[in-house]
Copies of this chain bind each other. A is one copy, B any other.
Amino acid sequence: MLSIPSYYPKQISFPKGQGVFPVNTIYSKSFFKPKSKAETKVIAAKKHSDSERRRRVRINGQYATLRTVLPNLIKMDKASVLAETVRQVRELKKAVAEVEAACRHGDSDECVLPGGVDKLSLEQCDGEQEGLVKATLSCDDRPGLILDITRALSSVKGRVVRAEMVIVGGRSKNVLWIQGLGDGKEGMVALRRALKVVIDRPIFAGLSKRFYLPQ
């Protein structure tokens, strides 16, 4: 047991390193509870310093894990560890933002890769030629999909002036630029109806979802 010489103990020789203290470090279990004022004060002080040490261990433990999770943080003092962490976090956030921006052109609708849910959207392309419509169509890939799309397009007025098709992981995304649909709404409505049929058509039974080259 340590005897506390005064209210200002010059030095209490702890093992200097951190370490879990044994459970028999009991604060308030003196026999028959004498509870002199001075004694309770000493006990409270010990309890206080103990909890403060636990807090320090907690904080320093987090410093240690932080040093492992980020590079070049070992052999750095606490302030520098935090500063470097801030710097690297900013870098990581920028990297994530850049790479997300690379996958989508502004909107999530503009992702170049096929989405996981079927979707059909028509969009008037102003700024370029008059009457240009961009149709975007996402669905499961299947044998004959291109043929179905071609048939649907031949059923409406207008012609395809450009097409981009992406097939990956069994999903297909097709972007079609169509000109000459007509001035009114009828052309758009007809196009939407025709492409909706393509999306909603079930995969031909008995065939896998693989995409086969057209023969």
Contacts and interface: CB of A to CB of B under 8 A. Distances in A.
Contact of A93 (B92, B150, B160, B214): B92
Counted per complex, copies of this chain come to 2
Interface string A150-166: 10010000001111111
Interface string A55-74: 10011001101100110000
Contacts of A150: 213-215
**Chain A: number of interface residues, binned into ranges:** 35 or more
A211 B99 CA distance: 26
Q: Interface residues of A: mostly helix, strand, loop or mixed?
A: helix
Interface in A49-90: 55, 58-59, 62-63, 65-66, 69-70, 78-79, 82-83, 85-86, 88-90
Interface in A159-175: 160-168
Which of A79, A210, A211, A212: most chain B CB closer than 10 A?
A: A79
Given A92-B92, A163-B213, A79 B55 contact: yes
B112 A165 contact: no
